[in-house]
Chains A and B, each alone.
Chain A
Amino acid sequence: MAKITLSKLRHSYYPNPKTLDDYALKEIDLDWTDGGAYALLGPSGCGKSTLLNIISGLLVPSEGRILFDGQDVTELPPDKRNIAQVFQFPVIYDTMTVYDNLAFPLRNRGRDEATVRERVTAIAEMLELSDLLDRKAAHLSPDNKQKISMGRGLVRQDVNVVMFDEPLTVIDPHLKWKLRSKLKELHQRVRATMIYVTHDQTEALTFADQVVVMQEGEVVQIGTPVELFDRPAHTFVGHFIGSPGMNILPAEVSDGVARFAGQAIPLEGPITAAPGARTEIGIRPEFVSLGQFGLPATVTKVSDVGRHTVVECEVAGSRVNAIVSGPGPKKGAIVQLEFRRDQTRLYADGWLASEAAEGAA
């Protein structure tokens, strides 16, 4: 286990990158503490797999350095870094039994058979694979195969970090939930640093203590699931996390007041936006309510999702979602939207540009 430091990391798949757009990763500085559970969250193509492969050593970054406990490992190949990785599709050695699969990383490193047996038995027990140890791995179900892949990652006790690259993609929905909680439980038991890459916010938020949200090769926010939900540092985070995501509304700012659709919208606190920036108001649907006063809006769609109702409205050409409990209004109805003030934020050029008022949470 180790602390992982990424220092001024940049990567391009082109030999001679010229513009910033040529970089799959644009300047990343990160510190990951020992034993933490991290998630790398972002849409497909945001560079999260690239970052993962750089940490595991499958890719050498164009610029920057990677340190494990202060030691430079940038040029080291994967097997010298002492890391483990679980891939999107289960990788198993077809001709071997489950036991031999789990023993493979240990035997390759010349551990004696007594140690191998002890470790494999322990890991198999943790992953509920004990009954399958003598079976050929080839004919198992995808979730058992993926458990074997995970087991091979966890079987070595001295790994610096275990990485998961969207490991639940091929798993059936009802088993996904099971494996996800298994993984969380494993982290609590083995206390290894774990990095979990996914584009699924539920997976990221349930697994990780800290979520790193990435977009177009950049880290936009690092925080606990609650922080990401409550105070998205970027409109992208607001929109990407949550279902539906944050409402982002075009706003005009003058004299310290933000206006949307001609109306002044009270914000959580003072505005810090530089003049001339493109400004937007952000508010989560959870904090929009239908009341007597507020923005007049037309209901365009009402979806009952079980726990609550999502009301989609239109205000001056912008879409605003509101989450209400109980049955919502009819489609076409005129409603008044109220924004909860301490949850209404301002964003300038995408980044958070309002401060929480004194005393507010």
Chain B
Amino acid sequence: MKTENQKAWFFVLPVLLLVAFNALIPMMTVVNYSVQETFGDNVFFWQGLDWFEQILRSDRFHAALGRQFLFTFLILIIEVPLGIAIALSMPRKGIWVPVCLVLMALPMLIPWNVVGAMWNIFTLPDIGLLGYFLNHVMGIDYDMTQDPLAAWITIVTMDVWHWTSLVVLLSYAGLVSIPDAYYQAAKIDGASNWAVFRFIQLPKMKTVLTIAILLRFMDSFNIYTEPFVMTGGGPGNSTTLLSIDLVKIALGQFDLGPAAAMSLIYFAITLLVSWLFYTLMTKDDLN
């Protein structure tokens, strides 16, 4: 016998309202903009899917999307292995554990725009610690406002500095949950260090790593603040990632229609990749 109690809906209502006001309604506004043209005064002209077509066909969007994927790819390919490596080398017991954890958490506690400003100053060729050192001590010509490569290296390094900790902390949480018996059994079974990593540590970290990669993907794919503060998308358009381009279109050029269409495409890509990745990673656990 199943008893149905409709009262439950009542308790969900506040959350529904909250979600409606902070996500659904603003989102619907964007959808509204994406299919219409407006010249202000709340006057709208039906545009259909024109904006979507225009965005999807534009070289500018393709270029920004390419840069975005490159950026995210670099972030993941560096931060995930590096994070795992750091987590593996952290102590599991003793007084150094809290010290390591706090040190690791520090970069994540700093507001994003502050990180951007910090790195901006840090890399200034004349007075920045790193910029001065590279230019005047090492004799390397380094200026991220002039050189696209330097700009890329800087924003990628900045992100690695800022967010590798997340991968470290999540991996570490996975590692400490492995009972000692596993390591002892592996020792007795004659397993090499690589085998221990491959067959014990990596499988036990899989769930948290999936979450870590997912978070790092979404976050790096949607990154805006730090590169905006550091390079503003330059030099030229070399570091104009999707979000920076989006803001340029929406607030710089005030093309609300194309910007809205682009937002939805952007959102769809993020959602699609996340969903694909998560489904693939958790496929084994279901059967």
Contacts and interface: CB of A to CB of B under 8 A. Distances in A.
B177 interface: no
Contact of B181 (A87, A94, A108, A152): A87
Contacts of A292: none
A89 B184 CA distance: 12
Contacts of A35: none
Contact of B189 (A77, A88, A95, A104): A104
A84 B184 CA distance: 10
B267 interface: no
B195 interface: yes
Contact of A96 (B184, B185, B199): B199
B268 interface: no
Contacts of B182: 91
Interface in B186-225: 187-192, 195, 199-200, 203-204
A87 B188 CA distance: 11
Contact of B185 (A77, A85, A94): A85
B179 interface: yes
Contacts, number: 50
Interface string A262-290: 00000000000000000000000000000
Contacts of A104: 189, 191, 199
B187 A77 contact: yes
Nearest to B195: A108
Given A87-B181, A108-B195, A94 B188 contact: no
Interface in A86-131: 87-89, 91, 93-96, 104-105, 108-109
A227 interface: no
A9 B129 CA distance: 59
B191 A95 contact: no
Interface in A23-70: 56, 58
Interface in A68-87: 77-79, 83-85, 87
A238 to B, nearest CB: 33
Nearest to B182: A91
Contacts of A105: 188-190
Most buried by A among B184, B192, B195, B203: B184
A215 interface: no
Contacts of A210: none
Contacts of B191: 104, 108
A104 B191 CA distance: 8
B184 A85 contact: yes
Given A79-B190, A108-B192, A109-B190, A89 B199 contact: no
Contact of A108 (B184, B189, B204): B189
Contacts of B200: 93
A89 B189 contact: no
A298 interface: no
B188 A79 contact: yes
A79 B185 contact: no
A247 interface: no
A83 to B, nearest CB: 7
A149 interface: yes
A94 B203 contact: yes
Contacts of B199: 93, 95-96, 104
A96 B186 CA distance: 14
Nearest to A91: B185
A106 to B, nearest CB: 9
Most buried by A among B184, B190, B191, B195: B190
Given A93-B199, A93-B200, A87 B184 contact: yes
A89 B185 CA distance: 11
A83 B190 CA distance: 10
A61 B185 CA distance: 19
Contacts of A87: 181, 184-185
Given A93-B200, A96-B199, A108-B192, A79 B181 contact: no
A108 B184 CA distance: 15
Most buried by B among A56, A79, A84: A79
B208 to A, nearest CB: 14
Contacts of A77: 187
A88 B187 contact: no
B62 to A, nearest CB: 39
A149 B185 contact: yes
Interface of B: 179, 181-182, 184-185, 187-192, 195, 199-200, 203-204
Q: List 7 tightest A-B contacts by C-beta distance, closest first.
A: A108-B190, A91-B185, A87-B181, A105-B189, A79-B190, A93-B199, A78-B187
5 contacts: A78-B187, A79-B189, A93-B199, A94-B203, A104-B189
Given A79-B189, A89-B181, A91-B185, 11 more contacts: A56-B184, A79-B188, A83-B188, A85-B184, A88-B181, A91-B179, A91-B181, A93-B203, A108-B189, A108-B192, A152-B185
